[in-house]
Structure 1
Amino acid sequence: MTDCSRRCCRWENRGLVPYLEAWAYQRSLVEARLEAPALEDVLVLVEHPPVYTLGTGASLEFLKFDPAQSDFEVHRIDRGGEVTYHCPGQIVGYPILNLHYYQKDLHWYLRQLEEVILRTLAGYGLRGERVEGLTGVWVEGYKVAAIGIKVKRWITLHGFALNVCPDLSGFSCIVPCGIVDKPVGSLAQFLPNIELKSVRRDLARSFAEVFQIELVLAENG
């Protein structure tokens, strides 16, 4: 259960943000909370210009191009997981949570993030599914949400990416998440008129329900 003194979480909608800028912002939020653990939790929702990211131990064999000889933006970062792709039309969520006030259990945290996606999809009449042994959410065999996290002294960074209505062609240049036999999809495949704004709002609502908190929209959100 969430600590009663930690019921509020700041919710920021920051729009289209370059990847390195968002990564630096996350790190600044984490460092501030390492120095002052009583600071409120934060949920940051963004989109990114096209970019490929690889987790700490991700294999370059899952790139179908040579990063040294291409114009693609590629970054190796400090999350778990393999290579993934971000682009406009995909909602990326960065929860900065102090798990001391929730559960100090990474498997629990990953399952909670999946539950946020599952509840959001259910609100649109879509049946999301987990796949045993893998992390993420699928609809009718298509992976629509990827999750990759890092925890520093039990404060979280990185998070989830939900494909709402992106151009999926960028995924053709990689083996997404290192999974060779499961295609990537988007919500727009099943709901052509789906809107980012409504999904962003519903994701935040589901996040609040799952983590049993109250989200307070930041002034810049």
Structure 2
Amino acid sequence: MNKKVKIQDIGSRDFKATWEYQENLFKGILDIKVKNRREDAGLDTPNYFIFVEHPHVYTLGKSGDISNLLLSEQQLKEKGATFYKINRGGDITYHGPGQIVGYPILDLDNFFTDIHKYLRFLEEMVILTLKEYDINATRSEGETGVWLDVGTPFARKICAMGVRASRWVTMHGFALNVNADLGYFDNIIPCGIKGKAVTSLNVELGQEKVNEEEVKEKLLKHFAILFEAQFISQNTEV
């Protein structure tokens, strides 16, 4: 069981290019697993954790409803945003500047083979990170992601999640609003959930800008503890 995870921070990157890059890493892990099964090769499967920031983009999961996008094609262009239907779970969400997006591409055979546990651990990573900023974040029953003030009229989502898994290999991941322009969420019904607000860490802290590198360090610290993972390198070149 290889618990080493390669960290890659690839900066600001087009969503489609990053999706293709994820797919290549994902396929590479699957190919090794097939070789191990067919040839008893005994090869370790690698694990990756990609940090990225996307230009304005809306993505719709495979179970999503296109009516949750409230913009026409022309309006998308006017806002400088793109739109993609993709192969993760979940409905519609927004990615953009000021948001920390994390894509763990893991072979869960190296950790534990339980997708429910995997999602709960990703949520816990974010919850523990926000706790370091004195923010009491929680889960909302039946709604994947991380929320504030659940069970009140002021419930609001701060982190969205959507993953894909095949043969226990994961891709896609989470999007944590840190310094996000929340106006872009007005153009969708986030995650297909009506009547729920969205927030960002800088808004909750009353700060103009939060140090995103510091937030990433805290996320990785909690990920390493929860997954009993070891980070082996940091690579910003792809």
TM-score, reference length from structure 1: 0.93
Partner of 2:53: 47
Partner of 2:37: none
Deviates more, 1:28-37 or 1:15-24: 28-37
> Which of 114, 129, 139 does residue 130 from structure 1 map onto?
139
Kindly state the Cα deviation for residue 98 of structure 1 after the two structures are TM-superposed: 0.5
The separation in 2 between residues aligned to 1:99 and 1:59, in whole angstroms, is 29
The separation in 1 between residues aligned to 2:111 and 2:218, in whole angstroms, is 22
Within the alignment, does 1:66 sit opposite 2:87 as a pair? Answer: no
Paired AA for residue 28 in structure 1: N
The separation in 1 between residues aligned to 2:18 and 2:58, in whole angstroms, is 14
Partner of 1:105: 114
Partner of 1:82: 91
Partner of 2:36: none
Kindly state the Cα deviation for residue 181 of structure 1 after the two structures are TM-superposed: 1.8
Within the alignment, does 1:185 sit opposite 2:199 as a pair? Answer: yes
Within the alignment, does 1:160 sit opposite 2:174 as a pair? Answer: yes
Alignment of 1:199-210 (within 5 A): 199-210=215-226
Partner of 1:171: 185
Partner of 1:30: 26
Kindly state the Cα deviation for residue 102 of structure 1 after the two structures are TM-superposed: 2.0
The separation in 1 between residues aligned to 2:11 and 2:28, in whole angstroms, is 23
Paired AA for residue 169 in structure 1: G
Give the % identical residues: 39
The separation in 1 between residues aligned to 2:3 and 2:59, in whole angstroms, is 32
Partner of 1:195: 211
The separation in 1 between residues aligned to 2:222 and 2:9, in whole angstroms, is 15
Kindly state the Cα deviation for residue 103 of structure 1 after the two structures are TM-superposed: 2.1
Compared CA separation, residues 68 and 78, structure 1 to 2 (3 A): farther
Q: Is the 8 A contact 2:3 2:111 kept in 1?
A: no
The separation in 1 between residues aligned to 2:187 and 2:52, in whole angstroms, is 23
Ranges in structure 2 where 5+ consecutive residues have no aligned partner: 34-43, 150-154
Task: Tell me the matched-pair count.
Answer: 217
Paired AA for residue 122 in structure 1: K
Paired AA for residue 128 in structure 2: R
Paired AA for residue 46 in structure 1: V
Deviates more, 1:67-76 or 1:102-111: 67-76
Ranges in structure 1 where 5+ consecutive residues have no aligned partner: none
Kindly state the Cα deviation for residue 7 of structure 1 after the two structures are TM-superposed: 2.7
Within the alignment, does 1:215 sit opposite 2:231 as a pair? Answer: yes
SS in 1 for 2:235: coil
SS in 2 for 1:206: helix
* RMSD of Structure 2 on Structure 1 (CA): 1.4
Kindly state the Cα deviation for residue 68 of structure 1 after the two structures are TM-superposed: 6.8
Cα deviation code 1:35-71 (max 9, x no counterpart): 1242320000110000000001210111112237641
The separation in 2 between residues aligned to 1:8 and 1:153, in whole angstroms, is 19
Q: Is the 8 A contact 2:12 2:52 kept in 1?
A: yes
Within the alignment, does 1:15 sit opposite 2:3 as a pair? Answer: no
